[in-house]
Amino acid sequence: MTAATPTLTAKRSSTAVGRLARTATEIAQPPLVLSLLLILASLLGDQWSVSIWSGVIAALFICLVPFAVVLILARRGQLTDHHVGDKKQRRPVMLWTLGSALLGCAILSVIGAPQPVWGLIGGILCGIVALILISPIWKLSGHALTLGGATASAVLMFGWLGLPFVVAAPLVCWSRVYLRDHSAPQVIAGFIAGIVAFGASYTFIVG
């Protein structure tokens, strides 16, 4: 699927269905979804006072600080938009995200983050590396990868309480295709990659 023209995208976004798709896409920003999951994962630790801080630090360094940089650069016109629609721009973005994430990991290793947080971080790092390698060639969906990973991780961490992520995942994946930000294969591949990477990482680290 070729990229949609701005006019076509605007027309789609202006309908009721389009507004639903745009809302789902914006609410389910990967940094926001992963920040929420990291904080929830930190609550599973034995020492709550230490654990919650590990979740906050992980969310800041892995998700929120890189996302803030993207927002600033997009506002200045140095990136296409805050979704980084141009696949050529994705590798540099993910490389500095990886650097920030590794710095966060160093801090977390010092304060002693609980295993559930590390299990989730492992999946996030795998996702970042996948996007670094694939994005210059093919626009793999970061939203779908995140929602696939969030679905697997939430179910592994919380059982049936992870159901909201299971329900939200198809809506968000549909929104990316409807808005023509991605093709169906890009979304499907991202979703499957997220399930495998996050599920395998959490199972391997946490057991």
pLDDT at 14: 63
C-alpha span between 9 and 100 (Å, rounded): 33
- Are 97 and 128 contacting, i.e. CB atoms less than 8 angstroms apart? yes
C-alpha pair distances (Å), 173 with each of 57, 134, 188: 28, 19, 8
With a cut of 50, which residues of the chain have pLDDT below it?
1-3
Token couple for 205: 């680290």
Predicted confidence at residue 88, as pLDDT, reads: 84
Q: What is the pLDDT of residue 1?
A: 42
pLDDT of amino acid 9: 53
Diameter of the chain measured on Cα atoms = 53
Q: Residue 39: its pLDDT value, please?
A: 94
pTM value is 0.88
For residue 84, the model assigns a pLDDT of: 84
How far is it, in rounded angstroms, from Cα 204 to Cα 13?
41
